[in-house]
């Protein structure tokens, strides 16, 4: 099942696989459900994606179980590493194709966003290829002269993975490559409106030589495929990235089935704190990137900006100037324009949600949206597509819906603070705890902030600069568990203790 997708800006024609990927083949689903995938920069149809049913999920799980039991569990770390290295080479070979699919399917600027994602994916794939014989190691525990204990780090078996639409291929790669390095087989659900790049990647798995059933891709609706995976008795481990509300349902489904282990990477409302002694130009550069990159559709986006009152006016003036100069839609709102740094939001639904949020539709009863001061920093005259200009909002109270809830777009609230004690309280005043950033030249203050902030990631004098070798995950309602680095393999392993008696 294939279709042709033309990308005239790159003089490129892509042979795009469609359907479900089970046992190394693209197959039709058992039902008739399908969805049109839309280019968010043009609001035009790209193609139609067939959607999986619960019956299809069961087929994929059985294929993954068979592959794990009879093939994958018997491979050596060296064999898994070589396959992952081959996959990395193929991704690098087809980097333009994969980046183009991300651009048209997810609305990512090709040169300044999609290509960056793909470069990280290549690096990550090779990192996990090198981890297969280094992280999956046990320990020997001396107990007494006649006895010792050793531990085995063992794969779960069949892993279900559910990834979001904001980083279709990157989030999938975080999960897939780590799980494979650990020795698991996979059934993965992409977001139904951004399935193209992951389906194309599946084709590269076949070319790389991965055995049948090791990776299975089942595009489908969350209420059907997502729920089926979460409650399936044949799934040993579930890894989900998405909204906090859906993540809670994943935990519930696990509890109502076989108590499968669950890793969750959920929402965020990350603060960026700028002290008066900060290098202001550096802070502005990183904070702007932290909220406007990927059109603000980042769970770690620094959407709450706190600026010490003595430098507030200077910060605002410089922030406006920097944003207008560096964050652009590009000529004709074309994602392949080299000057384009801001794309559309993912869909009409998301566009309307952000607009309604800024109009005060979801405001708390205690706040007056007419008091908000919204400022669009970049002119937007897009004739079509779902474009929202980089926007800042001031005169917003700490308990405002804008400060407490994810907007998931290129929108940030900017507030003043007086001193360290006040701002650490403000920064921690959220249900979320995914990431944070602090800007100061005072080393004591910086590390004090890192100690006191309730967040899984702390950036000092930088923001939203993820490293594949460092763990990533949240505190509070931002999730459970960690991904990337050593933890990106460990999360897909379970520990077994073996007790050895040496006495007769």
Cβ contacts of 197 within 8 Å, gap of 6 or more: 98, 101, 102, 105, 106, 168, 169
Radius of gyration for the alpha carbons in the chain, expressed in angstroms and rounded: 23
The residues, any chain, with a CB within 8 Å of residue 9's CB and separated by 6 or more, are: 110, 334, 336
Spatial distance between the Cα atoms of 457 and 286, rounded to a whole number of angstroms: 15
User: Which DSSP symbol is given to 145?
Assistant: T
103: enclosing H helix or E strand: helix 95-106
DSSP 8-state secondary structure symbol assigned to residue 77 = H
Q: Let me know: does 439 contact 450? Beta carbons within 8 Å.
A: no
Tell me, letter by letter, the H, E, C secondary structure of 338-400.
CCCCCCCCCCHHHHHHHHHHHCCCCCCCCCCHHHCEEEECCCCCCCCCCCCCCEEEECCCCCC
CB 131 within 8 A of CB 115: no
Q: Parallel, antiparallel, or unpaired for β 147-155 and 493-501?
A: antiparallel
What is the per-residue DSSP string for 309-334? GGGHHHHHHHHHHHHHHH----GGG-
Q: Is 265 a catalytic residue?
A: yes
Cβ contact 256:227 at 8 Å: no
Nearest in space to 474 (alpha carbons), one of 227, 231, 240: 240
Distance CA 41, CA 195 (A): 17
Among 306, 288, 307, 308, residue whose Cα is nearest residue 298: 288
Distance between CA atoms of 351 and 385, rounded to whole angstroms? Answer: 9
Pair 216, 147: CB distance under 8 Å: no
CB 19 within 8 A of CB 27: yes
* Close Cβ partners of 18 (under 8 Å, ≥ 6 residues apart): 1, 2, 3, 26, 47, 48, 49, 50, 199
d(CA 24, CA 381): 45
CA trace torsion 197, 97, 298, 131 (10° rounding): 80
Active-site hit among 265, 308, 406, 483: 265
State the SS3 of 387-410.
Answer: CCCCEEEECCCCCCHHHHCCCCCC
Active-site amino acid positions = 265
């Amino acid at each position: 099942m294939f279709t042709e997708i033309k990308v005239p800006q790159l003089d490129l024609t892509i042979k795009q696989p469609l359907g479900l990927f089970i046992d190394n083949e693209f197959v039709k689903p058992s039902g008739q459900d399908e969805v049109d995938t839309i280019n968010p920069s043009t609001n035009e149809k790209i193609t139609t994606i067939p959607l999986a049913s619960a019956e299809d999920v069961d087929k994929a799980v059985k294929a993954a179980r068979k592959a794990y039991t009879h093939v994958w569990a018997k491979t050596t770390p060296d064999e898994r590493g070589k396959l992952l290295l081959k996959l990395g080479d193929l991704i690098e070979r087809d980097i333009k194709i994969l980046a183009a699919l991300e651009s048209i399917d997810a609305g990512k600027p090709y040169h300044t966003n999609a290509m960056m994602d793909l470069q990280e994916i290549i690096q990550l794939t090779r990192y996990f290829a090198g981890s297969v014989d280094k992280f999956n190691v046990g320990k020997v525990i001396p107990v007494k002269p006649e006895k010792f204990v050793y531990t085995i780090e063992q794969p779960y078996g069949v892993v279900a993975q559910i990834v979001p639409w904001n980083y279709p291929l990157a989030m999938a790669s975080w999960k897939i490559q780590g799980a494979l390095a650990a020795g698991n087989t996979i059934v993965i659900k992409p977001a139904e409106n951004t399935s193209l790049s992951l389906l194309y990647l599946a084709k590269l798995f076949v070319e790389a030589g991965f055995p049948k059933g090791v990776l299975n891709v089942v595009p489908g609706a969350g209420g059907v495929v997502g729920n089926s995976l979460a409650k399936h008795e044949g799934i040993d481990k579930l890894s989900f990235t998405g909204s906090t509300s859906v993540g809670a349902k994943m935990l519930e489904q696990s509890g109502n089935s076989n108590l499968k282990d669950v890793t969750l990477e959920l929402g965020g409302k990350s603060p960026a704190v700028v002290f008066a002694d900060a290098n202001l130009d550096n802070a502005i550069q990183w904070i702007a990137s932290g909220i406007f990159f990927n059109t603000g559709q980042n769970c770690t986006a620094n959407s709450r900006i706190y600026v010490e009152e003595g430098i507030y006016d200077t910060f605002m003036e410089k922030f406006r100037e920097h944003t207008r100069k560096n964050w652009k839609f590009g000529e004709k709102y074309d994602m392949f324009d080299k000057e384009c740094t801001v794309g559309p939001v993912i869909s009409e639904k998301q566009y309307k949600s952000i607009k309604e949020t800024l109009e005060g539709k979801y405001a708390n009863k205690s706040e007056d949206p007419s008091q908000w001061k919204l400022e669009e920093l970049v002119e937007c005259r897009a004739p079509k597509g779902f474009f929202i200009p980089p926007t800042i909002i001031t005169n917003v109270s700490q308990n405002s819906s804008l400060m407490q809830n994810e907007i998931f777009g290129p929108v940030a609230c900017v507030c003043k603070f007086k001193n360290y004690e006040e701002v650490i309280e403000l920064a921690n005043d959220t249900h979320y705890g995914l990431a944070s950033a602090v800007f100061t030249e005072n080393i004591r203050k910086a590390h004090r902030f890192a100690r006191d902030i309730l967040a899984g990631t702390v950036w000092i004098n930088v923001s939203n600069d993820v490293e594949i070798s460092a763990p990533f995950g949240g505190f509070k309602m931002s999730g459970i568990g960690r991904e990337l680095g050593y933890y990106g393999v460990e999360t897909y392993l379970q520990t077994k203790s073996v007790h050895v008696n040496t006495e007769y």
